[in-house]
Homo-oligomer: A and B are copies of this chain.
């Protein structure tokens, strides 16, 4: 790459000191600088095509105007959507994002946090995997500005977060299915210790008990690694077995895709034979043969809020913000009876 012009170059060319150039170009102390000198400096600067050296500025100010974003997987629709919103919002505030995918793996997560800290990001937005409490505590101790997104940890109470009310989201799904005359709904979710998924389950369990009777078999968990095979088996059993389940609620968009794939494969009729509700929206639902009912998170609000909260902290706020958004059920034919 070509060498950039520096303040020194401009100073030399304009016959003034570096200080003055710095002042003029940053608009500082401008009131007591000779107008002509200022103009001349600006002219030389633009003639030499000056752009400030970001790194030098960062070193001096100890601020990089860079934020880190750690998510599970950038190629997952939910995260890429939120990433896009965060990116735009950061851009708007003159920050850049560096990102990394932790694959729900606590070691990878820790590695990424380390990388970001070494890069001296001004703050981090993170969707933390299970068992990452240690790392989060470390961040707190080091006074690194960070905000949790999507999930939080009850044991970490001094961290800001922006999440949705997962309990209520699922409870409302139970109610929705009841309103639509379904009798035997089951939620399929991932075997996970993540609090937000637990809450999603708890909400459906409570809702189930309230609307469908006091049983304890409203939830079925599947291990993430065996998702594909397991879910086909599970669905077959539920539909054709003794339980006569008449509606399924998939608790994440990943599970939803697998579940819908199985339903398509077995040519199960939705909603006649089986009602379906999915978590999270997806363009892809439209290619399913029935329009899909889904729980919609306010992605834009979440993304904007998380950047706002983080920048507050970066700028010195000591306040811990806990923002909880509500979800909406977008009704499709898949759960209409």
Which chain A residues have a beta carbon within 8 Å of chain B's beta carbons? 1-2, 51-56, 58-59, 64, 66, 73-77, 80-81, 83-84, 87-88, 91, 96-101, 115, 117-120, 142-145, 257, 260-261, 263-265, 267, 282-289
A118 contacts B52, C-beta separation under 8 Å: yes
CB distance from A304 to the nearest CB of B (A): 15
Q: A1-B145, A55-B55 are in contact. List 15 more A-B contacts (CB 8 A).
A: A55-B59, A56-B59, A74-B83, A75-B81, A77-B80, A80-B80, A87-B99, A91-B100, A97-B98, A260-B287, A263-B287, A265-B286, A267-B289, A284-B287, A285-B287
Which of A51, A53, A54, A145 counts the most B-chain CB atoms under 10 A from its CB? A54
Which of A1, A58, A283, A289 counts the most B-chain CB atoms under 10 A from its CB? A1
Contacts of A59 in B (CB 8 A): 53, 55-56, 59
How long is the Cα–Cα vector from A287 to B99 in the complex, in angstroms?
A: 30
How long is the Cα–Cα vector from A66 to B97 in the complex, in angstroms?
A: 11
Question: If A58-B55, A284-B287 touch, does A74 touch B80 (CB 8 Å cutoff)?
Answer: yes
How long is the Cα–Cα vector from A118 to B59 in the complex, in angstroms?
A: 15
A120 contacts B284, C-beta separation under 8 Å: no
A120 contacts B54, C-beta separation under 8 Å: yes
How long is the Cα–Cα vector from A264 to B287 in the complex, in angstroms?
A: 6
Contacts of A284 in B (CB 8 A): 257, 282-284, 287
Contacts of A143 in B (CB 8 A): 1-2
B96 contacts A115, C-beta separation under 8 Å: yes
CB distance from A261 to the nearest CB of B (A): 4
Residue on B nearest A258 in the bound complex, by CB = B286
CB distance from A84 to the nearest CB of B (A): 4
CB distance from A137 to the nearest CB of B (A): 14
How long is the Cα–Cα vector from A318 to B233 in the complex, in angstroms?
A: 56
Contacts of A118 in B (CB 8 A): 51-52, 54
How long is the Cα–Cα vector from A288 to B260 in the complex, in angstroms?
A: 9
B1 contacts A144, C-beta separation under 8 Å: yes
Contacts of A282 in B (CB 8 A): 284
